[in-house]
Structures are given as structure tokens and as C-alpha cells.
Amino acid sequence: MTMEDLVSLDPLQVIDETGAVVGELPDLADDRLVEMYRLMARSRDFDRRATGAQRQGRIGTYPMLEGHEAAQVGSATAFEPDDFIYPGYRERAVEIARGMSLDVILSYWRGLPTKQWDVHALKMMTIAVPIASQIPHAVGHAYAARLRGEPIVTATYFGDGATSETDFHAGLNFAGVMNAPTVMICENNLYAISVPYRKQSAAATIAQKAIAYGIRGVRVDGMDVLAMYAATKQAADVARSGGGPTLIEALCYRFGAHATADDARRYRDADEEDMWRPRDPLVRYRRFLESRGLWRQDDEQALLAAAAADFSAAMDSLDETAIPPRGDIVRHAYSRIPRLLVDQINALERGVGEEPTRFDPSDVWQLDDDPEPSGPTVTMTMADAINMAMADAMERDPHLVVMGEDVGLTGGVFRITEGLQAKFGEERVIDTPLNESGIVGTAIGMAVSGTRVIAEIQFDGFVYPAFDQIVNHVGRIRFRSQGHVSLPLVIRWPNGAGIGAHEQHCDSPEAYFAHAPGQTVIVPSTPFDAKGLLAAALEADDPVLFLEPKVLYRAMKEEVPTDHYTISIGRARLRRPGDDVTLVTYGGMVPVSLAAAEAASAEGISTEVIDLRTVYPWDVETVVDSVERTGRLVLVQEPQRTGGIAAEIAAEVAERAGYSLLSPIRRVTATDAPWPQFAIERHALITPHHVLAALRQSMAG
């Protein structure tokens, strides 16, 4: 398909290249018409000056927008002030149209913390670099707002290259299924960096892709600001009235390169650019205004002079901005800074002779002691305890949402959510499409909007498609927004081996997520702990990954209080006191380790067993104190050896208590191979015999 073919596919148009009216004019007062041009012209002036500032080394790599002004200004001005925007990374004109100050915009491209980018005040999320990943966020935000009775619409912007990404398809599918009041705007500039549209999609248009998801699709001349306004206003009105989402394809052209690090001459020629230049959105709209007596050359000169002055003032203010102290690089990673992070930043500071940052105690994660069980109790399994914790939380918070595959009618494959949909309804216990990235991405948007969410991933090995959403967004949004956004989100999944299941049903991926910053990773081992830790997670400001050892779901019962209680996240639990050797473990390996410790006691080995419960941030003090007393350390984990939780603990203990060790640290782990098929799973499982052997070796020196 040629460029000419694409252009001739009859997009919605209101004014042509000469500025003549060829369609139905939207009902806009003259001052609104003029203001739209002012925003477009200011955006282009900003864009050119920012490009120049990058060439001077005053800002970092910068993605240009010239040619997108009409698509962005026309759509942005069609939304109501309370509507919420999820941008990509090229939406400078949207930011300017929404009233964002230039110094805030530039601070991002300067590489400075965007302290003034108040997401909720501006009704606009921070920049999303991972392509298309923000689309499900907009969908979830819109759904949650509608559930709370708020008449808002969400919008999200992305390019044509994004339509090849998984999250584009997940976002559109979830939007259609959930009938979310969302407008999705694809700025089709015909190139994804250098890859032309014909190599991106075989579809004649992007708009027609909406049909597959049961939603409206509209193709618009994205260089006609009035057409973009009209199409977006209609889409927003439809969404607001309950008519569902719309995909708008804004056909435009990127006159510059993808970014200042790119050279467009390597993949397109001047003739192509010359073909598009007569469609310049500013030129055609200025002609329209001039024909109606609404714009003069004097107005143009005054606007450009003011724009130049504003840009210079913004850049100057950034030049004068003091670089924040080193301690700020950890300040917004969590609502309260884990002690591990405090120790790490202080070590960096001491290493270069700086005074360690002293954080206010109220800003540091405090660990409380376990609650004493009180009130009535019921003997229950871990599965029962988790179900009770979720039901209690949903009673306490009428907006809390549970979502995932099969969580509703059937109660999940392990029946952990059984009965919740019958009690709380389909809008709050949502059977979602089978797409893990979509589940987590939609949950993120709900959480940004202020709705607390429990997202379930059906099995441990199925979480990997959501890895991008978890690592790039769940764990980073608070830091990226400099604390303006909390993410009250719990992601649960059945974890680990031992049930004789097929491939991808027995993984233990906790180390991947413990390595990723900004989130908490919990692995409980008893019904009492599972209920208390999940209750705490559902009151936390920070996102929590809650990994439930499936082998323990119904392996044991214990007395669990029926009243609400919480357990301090990050606090390890002493399962068995001992004097000779410290054994640290978590999750499904706790009963295995306790059995080994009991066997060791018959041989005169007194083993102290510590259950981490939270594998990040983990309780360093409890572990180190124990090792300093016993002089020995054995670590037990179910998954692969290299880069695991055990390796991290071994390294930390070696640094902090190395001189207390009387024998080498021992690790009992699986091998660095995929988990075997269920008929031979027993060859990979850690048993009490393996752990007992390590205890003996530790005592032998």
C-alpha cells in the first residue's frame, strides 16, 4: 500500500488544505477557535525550541511532535476538565492544552524529578515510555470511576507502532468487554521510528481494528484540528452516556525525526516530506481563521514573542534548579522507606565521604510485633483464611474490586475467591478476559483512580506476560510521580511446586519481583499469617505481590481469629528457637525446614528456624541477630539457586556478620533448570533429608 493510498482512505475532515470548510463545523465560539490555534502555535514553538535546547546539551533526548499539533490540541480541548489523560511520550501539545507549565514539562526532559507534575491536580498521568502499556491503565481508571458514580471519561494517546503491542490488543479488548468510558487516540504518523506503516500492519486502517473488539472506530484527518475536536467530542459524549469506548485513528505526519537521537533521512526522502507539507496543520488552520477575520499577522508575531519568552523563562528556571541531594533517589520508591533502602543509600554516601542522609522516622518503614490472637477463632486452612481476608476487606471498603480469570462464578481454580461474586456482585468480582497483562494493566488504572484492587493471576507461570506491567509500572509509579500517586494494589497468585502439576504450573518467580524496585513481595506459610498479612497488604499504600504456596492451601489447619487483624509487613517470624545454627526460609519450605529441625534435634543440633514471610523488604535485623548468636546459617528455598532469595540473604549476612560465622553459609535450593514434569517432580523437591544434611554440614564446619 502506497502513501497515496493511505491518504486517500477518506478520513473525517472539516477544513481542507486551503482552510476552506468542507465538513460540518463544530459549535465553537470565536474565542475558542482562536485559542485552539494559540495552543497549536505555542506547542510548535515549544517543540522547535526544545529540539534546539537538546542540540545545545540543555535537555536530554527529545521526541519531536511537529505535525501532531492538530491531533493533540483538537482532541485535548474536547475533553472536560475532570476527564483524565494517559499520555505516551510525545504529547507536549496535550500537556500544554491541559494547562501544564513549561518548566514542569521541561523538567522531565532535563532528567530532573518531576515534583510539580501532580497527577491528580493536572488530571494527567506522567509520561509512559513502554509502548502501549498505558492503554489498559486508562480502561481500568474509567471503569473504577464509573463504579464510584463519577461521570468522567479517560483518554489515552499512542502511536501507530503501539498497535502491534500486546497491551494495545489487551486494552481494546478489556475496554470493549467492560464497556469502559475511554477514548483511545492513535496518532498514526505512518512511522514507528523508521518502520513504515505497511510493515506494521496489513490492515488498511487502524480504526478498523476496533471492529474486532466490538467498539467504535473512527478515522480522522489528524492534521485538521476541527475534525479532531468534533470526533473526540462525539466519542467522549458517547462514552460519558454509557455508550462505550471509541478508537480514533488520527492520520497525521511526523515532519521531524522520531527523536533527536534519530535521523529521518536514513529511511525517508525529501519528496515524501514535501508531499505532506501542504497539509501542515498550523498553515491550514491559520488560513481558516484569517478567512473569518479572527487572526492577523500582528497576532502571530505577538504570540511567538510571548512563547519565546515563556520558554526562555522556563529553561532559565531549570538552569537555576538545585540538584536534589543523593538521598532523594530513594525517597519516593515507597510510601515509607524500607530500612534496607536507608542502609543502601547511606552506604553509597559514606563511600564518597558524604554525610549520610537522616530520614525522618515517620518516613521510614517501622516493623511492629505480631498481634496476640484475640477474640473468637475458627479452625481453618490457608485457603479459607485468604478468602476471609478478602471478604472482610470488601465489607470494609465498598469500592474494593477483585479481578482475574475465573475468579467470579467458579471462585478460581483453587476456589480461593469462592462465594465472593455471589456476595458482592459481578461489578466488584470481575471475571476478566484471559490476558494477564490486561488484568494487571487494568488494575493499575483502577488503583491510580483511588480504587483498591486485588488482581489474581491464575498460576505462577502465567505471571510472565504481566512482567512488563508489574516491573515498569506497578513498582515505579509512586517514584515516577514523586509520591503524587499511591497504588493500592495487591496482585495474588498460587506459587510454587509440590502438587504434581504440568509445566508452568509449579514456578516460584519471587526472586524476579524481589529484584524489581518499588513493590513488596510476601510469601506466607500459615493460615494465621496469610490472613493477617493479606489484611495488612489491603491497607498498604504501596503495591504488594502476594504469593500463596499452593502446596499449603489445604495442607494444615490452625486457629485463626475471625475479627480483623494485621501482621507487620517486613517482619520475620521465629518458628523455632535454637542455639547452634540459624535456618532461614519462607513459604512452602517452612514445614519442610521445621521437620528437618525436629530431626536434627534428635542428633543434638539446636536449630533456630526463621520464616521470612516478606521476602522484600526482608527482616535483616532478625536474621543477622540470630546468626551473630549461632555463628552458622543455612538457607532453604524451593526455586532455582542462582540469583535467588537465599543468595541475597547470604550476601547481606556475609557483609554484616561475616566475622561471626563459624562455618560456611549453606544453601539448599533447586537446580538452575526448568521445573521437571510432574511424574519426576520428586527429583527436584527439597525434602527434610536435604535440609538435615545441610544442617549437619554446617555443624561440621
Residue 369 placed within a domain? no
DSSP three-state, residue 145: helix
Q: Are residues 509 and 532 in the same domain?
A: yes
State which of 538, 561, 584 marks the end of a domain.
Answer: 561
515 with 446, same domain: the answer is yes
How is residue 182 annotated by DSSP? E
User: Which residues does residue 610 pair with via DSSP β-bridges, in sequence order?
Assistant: 574, 584
Q: Is 434 helix (H, G, I), strand (E, B) or coil?
A: coil
Q: Which residue among 516, 540, 561 closes a domain?
A: 561
CB atoms within 10 A of CB 80: 11
- Outline where DSSP puts E strands in 348-467: 377-380, 401-404, 429-431, 453-456
| Residue that terminates a domain, selected from 363, 386, 415 | 363
Contact criterion met (CB below 8 Å) for 655 and 638: no
The answer on 275 and 399 residing in a single domain is: no
What are the residues facing 156 on neighbouring strands? 86, 184
Tell me: do 201 and 158 sit in the same domain: yes
Please indicate, yes or no, whether residues 160 and 244 belong to a single structural domain of this protein: yes
Please check whether residues 275 and 344 belong to one and the same domain. Answer: no
Tell me the C-alpha distance between 524 and 513, whole Å: 16
Q: Residue 228 domain-assigned?
A: yes
Q: How far apart are CA 581 and CA 593, in angstroms?
A: 12
In a domain, 100, yes or no: yes
* Residue 320, pLDDT score: 81
Is residue 653 within 8 Å of residue 624, measured between CB atoms?
yes
For 213, which DSSP code? G
Q: Indicate whether 333 and 314 sit together in one domain.
A: no
Say what the pTM is: 0.93
Angle (deg, nearest 10), helices 102-109 and 30-55: 30
693 CB-contact burial (10 Å; exposed 0-12 / middle 13-18 / buried 19+): middle
Cα 554 → chain centroid: 32
Taking the chain, what is the end-to-end CA distance rounded to the nearest angstrom? 73
Degrees to nearest 5, angle at CA 189 with 187 and 195: 120
Assess contact for 471 and 516: CB atoms under 8 A: yes
Q: How many domains does the chain have?
A: 4
User: Half-sphere exposure (CA, 13 Å, Cβ side) for 468?
Assistant: 18
DSSP letters of 612-625?
-SEEES--HHHHHH
Residue type, 353: G
Residue ranges in the chain whose pLDDT is less than 50:
1-8
**Separation of alpha carbons 668 and 640, rounded Å:** 10
- Specify the amino acid at residue 456: E
Position 9 scores a pLDDT of 60
Q: Which helix (H) or strand (E) holds 343?
A: helix 339-351
What pLDDT is attached to residue 698?
A: 96
Residue 453 included in any domain:
yes
Q: In this structure, are 450 and 477 located in the same domain?
A: yes
Q: Domain of 210: which CATH number?
A: 3.40.50.970
CATH number at residue 690: 3.40.50.920
Alpha helices in 262-413 (DSSP H): 270-276, 281-291, 297-319, 328-331, 339-351, 382-396
CA–CA distance, 304 with 310 (Å, rounded to integer): 10
If you search the block for the grid coordinates 471462585, which residue do you land on? 411
Partner residues linked to 185 by β-bridges: 157, 248
**Residue 562: CA atoms inside 13 Å, Cβ hemisphere, count?**
5
Domain range for residue 355? 328-363
Task: Please check whether residues 354 and 397 belong to one and the same domain.
Answer: no
Q: Where are the alpha helices (DSSP H) in 425-574?
A: 436-448, 467-469, 477-480, 510-515, 527-537
Spatial distance between the Cα atoms of 563 and 374, rounded to a whole number of angstroms: 8
Residue 625 lies in a domain: yes
In a domain, 602, yes or no: yes
Do residues 512 and 590 both lie within one domain?
Answer: no
Is 505 a residue of the active site? Answer: yes
> Count of CB atoms within 10 A of residue 51's CB?
20
Res 6: pLDDT: 43
Residue 372 lies in a domain: no
Q: Within a domain: residue 567?
A: no
pLDDT digits over 472-507, tens only? 999 999 999 998 999 999 999 999 888 888 888 888
373-397 pLDDT per residue, tens: 888 999 999 999 999 999 999 999 9
How is residue 580 written as a grid cell?
547452634
What is the model's pLDDT at position 8? 45
- Residue 302 and residue 339 share a domain: no
- Are 513 and 490 in a shared domain? yes
Query: CB neighbours (10 Å) of residue 409?
Result: 11
User: Residue 338 has which C-alpha cell?
Assistant: 524500607
Q: Which of 169, 399, 505, 564 is catalytic?
A: 505
